[in-house]
Amino acid sequence: MKYENDLKNILSEYKAGNIAEDEVLARLQNANYTDLGFAKLDHNRSIRQGFPEVVYCEGKTIEQVVEIMKMLASKHKNVLGTRASEEMYEAVKKELPEVKYHKIARLLTIENEALVKDSERKIAIITAGTSDMPISEEAAITAEIMGNEVIRIYDVGVAGIHRLLDKLELIRSANVVIVIAGMEGALASVVGGLVDKPVIAVPTSVGYGANFQGLSALLGMLNSCAAGVAVVNIDNGFGAARMASIINHMR
């Protein structure tokens, strides 16, 4: 990664006697983060956590998103922005032609050097319904850019449980399972009772009025009778994928 190379170059210069200790400290301090005034970008996160800081685009102005993406791309080979609009994408693309927009997931990605994936360790992403796809694709693409093989299993909710059982062998081949469901959120408990791998449940805001924008699914998942089910926030496909990626990379 570019940031890591910058740090190595600083240390190499010091080792060669080209710069003094005070300059090394100053350069390292400056390299750790960039202050844009409206945002302080944490470049060191790529070393601490294995992936650069991710941009949550929603709530930011288009100009702010452009500047943040430009700075991150100057320091890191792979960059991810979540909850981005098409207008944000068009503006970023003018400055960074390599950026891609994933419309369903509302993600911006720059992937100049794909991380190595272990084909033997996969993340399965399961949705109850097609309406959950914006969240599942957010999770799937996030997991992929973070260096994971992903299995997509969509529209296998409990209203037609034979669809899920038909994919059980494939699901069990995964190292981590993400279950995404709205309505009452029952799918997480069903899957949790069928596998011996960690299950990360994502409640979605999909459903009619009494779903309360995902609250019923969240409470259902939190009250799961299946052991081994953990729950992230409503519609948080990114958070589920980040946790699944950490688990999947553990050795």
- 60 and 134 part of one domain: no
pLDDT in tens, 98-143: 999 999 999 999 999 999 999 999 999 999 999 999 999 999 999 9
Verify that 187 and 244 share a domain, yes or no: yes
User: Tens of pLDDT along 181-216?
Assistant: 999 999 999 999 999 999 999 999 999 999 999 999
Whether the CB-CB separation of 249 and 50 falls below 8 Å is answered with yes
Tell me if 243 is assigned to some domain. yes
Domain span at 142: 122-249
Question: Based on the domain organization, do 77 and 140 belong to the same domain?
Answer: no
The contacts of residue 41 (CB under 8 Å, 6+ apart) are 33, 34, 53, 68, 71, 72, 75
Query: Which residues contact residue 236 at a Cβ distance below 8 angstroms, ignoring those fewer than 6 apart?
Result: 135, 202
Look at 44 and 237; give whichever has higher pLDDT: 237
Residues 126 and 244 in one domain: yes
Could you identify the residue written with the tokens 């996969």?
122
Which pTM was predicted?
A: 0.88
- Mean of all residue pLDDT scores within the chain: 91
Q: Is residue 117 part of a domain?
A: no
Do 126 and 107 lie in one domain? The reply is: no
Number of separate domains in the chain:
2
Residue 220 within a domain: yes
Return d(Cα 187, Cα 192) in angstroms, integer: 8
